[in-house]
Amino acid sequence: MQLKVSPSAGLKGEIEVPGDKSISHRSVMFSALSDGKNTITNFLPSEDCFRTVECFRAMGVKVNISPDKKSLAVFGEGLGGLKEPKDILYVGNSGTTIRLMLGILAGQPFQTMITGDESIKRRPMKRVVDPLRKMGAIITGKQDGNFAPLEVRGGNLSAIEYTLPVASAQVKSALMLAALFAKGTTKIIEPLPSRDHTERMFGHFGIPFTKENNIISVQTPHAASVPGFLPANIEIPGDISSASFFIVAGIIIPDSEILIKNVGLNPTRTGIIDVLCAMGANIAISNEKTLSGEPRGDIRIKTSKLKGITIGGEIIPRLIDEIPIIAIAATQAEGQTVILDAKELRVKESDRVSTICDMLKKMGAKAKETPDGMIIEGPCRLKGAEIESRGDHRIAMSAAIAGLIAKDEMVIEDTECIKTSFPGFDILLSNLLRRQPTAEFGDTV
């Protein structure tokens, strides 16, 4: 699918973005392992999240989905209740599904095969496989288990003490989930704080654990698993990663003012707001509250003049998924924006250091790749270009936002991938555009 985007006048209005992807995946996983019926609201009805649902259905968990696909009833089978799937589990494009599922599968006394699409088959799995093997799981796959398809023979896990080699919430979460099935006290040491939705989910479901500084401990009181936990209802906030496209659009398009309601404001995810504020953005937060253990609130954005800054160190895991759209903002900032310590970008849905820099250069921006990030020189009047998403949803959406301020039409190829995280992105954006009905956006071919 192709999207064409033309320069736009200011964006005005009030919007809501769909539910948070990370929390949606976890809500299904924890619900499936609980003892009874859970209700999930504002679930993200995206391809990735339904991959997680299908994996659990394949292991005998009943999931009812509402007609608008945003509410789920998940009938948990308990910690010992999953059944051996008859076929290979397929995660599509979803890194969160495969990595967190590996943690759960490692604890199951049966054999599973798990795989995904071409992008998933290129993404490193050793970071999860290594510690799970240390816990006792037998996992095989290409290049000593680094790449899917993977075969897991689990059960009989023992607790380990493990320092994560990279700050990765996916690895941390896989180990916390495996720890539910391991004898003893599993200790996970994080080099830098990463998103803490799994810890919050443990809290919400009343599963005991401790977190002191950067050490997480999960203790299983019985031989091979915790005694089980009760179901819970989960109300998911809007996804700040999805909101980021509109936050940046509202900042860089002249004469804009947007209110985005009910966005997740978990401090491990709000690096984008801190960085944009440090660059000079006019962003105000209101209506803050916490539901289901996750903070949320409304974000108001107005057109702002930006200056370049250096982004690196501890903040990187707090904004790792937002770097493509931060790069678009950086093209409009006065001076240099330097992104450091972001080597992880190279193993996302695409090699994002290279996809971002190639995209920016095609639009006429000054961008230079570095081994662990990039340097962007602004401000620059972007020109329209033909952009290939390389199957990466966040690249496709970032290019669409760039198209709104480019001199001429932007054509984005291969935009099917947007539905992995943000179904309805094009409709939401075209609804926001002021110059109706000549839909500048959403001219899909």
Q: Kindly state the tokens that stand for 21.
A: 């992807």
**Known catalytic membership, residue 321:** yes
Binding ligand S3P (rule: CB under 6 A), the pick from 22, 42, 270, 389 is 22
Which residue lies nearer to ligand S3P by CB, 21 or 187? 21
Closest to 273 (Cα-Cα) out of 226, 327, 319: 319
Strand partners, 290: 295
Rounded to a whole number of angstroms, the minimum distance from the CB of residue 405 to ligand S3P is 26
Q: Tokens 């495969």 label which residue?
A: 98
Question: What's the rounded Cα separation, in Å, for the pair 268 and 59?
Answer: 32
Residues 183-202 that bind ligand S3P (CB under 6 A): 194-195
State both tokens at 280: 């000079």
For residue 420, state whether it binds ligand S3P (rule: CB under 6 A).
no
* 170 touches ligand S3P (CB under 6 A): yes
Write down the catalytic residue from 20, 117, 298, 321: 321
The Cα 287–Cα 272 span in angstroms is 19
- In whole angstroms, the minimum distance from the beta carbon of 29 to ligand S3P comes to 11
From the number of C-beta atoms within 10 Å of its C-beta (0-12, 13-18, 19+), residue 15 rates as middle
Three-state DSSP class for residue 329: helix
Whats the size of the chain, residue-wise? 445
Task: Name the minimum Å distance from CB 213 to ligand S3P.
Answer: 19
* Farthest CA pair distance, the chain: 65
Instruction: Report the residue number, 77 or 321, with the smaller CB distance to ligand S3P.
Output: 321
Does residue 168 belong to the site contacting ligand S3P (CB under 6 A)?
Answer: yes
For ligand S3P, the nearest residue by Cβ is 22
Q: Which of residues 311-350 bind ligand S3P (CB under 6 A)?
A: 320-321, 344
Using the structure block, give the residue that is written with the tokens 């009343």.
206
Least distance to ligand S3P, CB of residue 153, Å: 24
**Cα–Cα dist 288/173, whole Å:** 26
Hey, which residues are catalytic here? Answer: 321
Residues that bind ligand S3P (CB under 6 A): 22, 96, 168-170, 173, 194-195, 320-321, 344
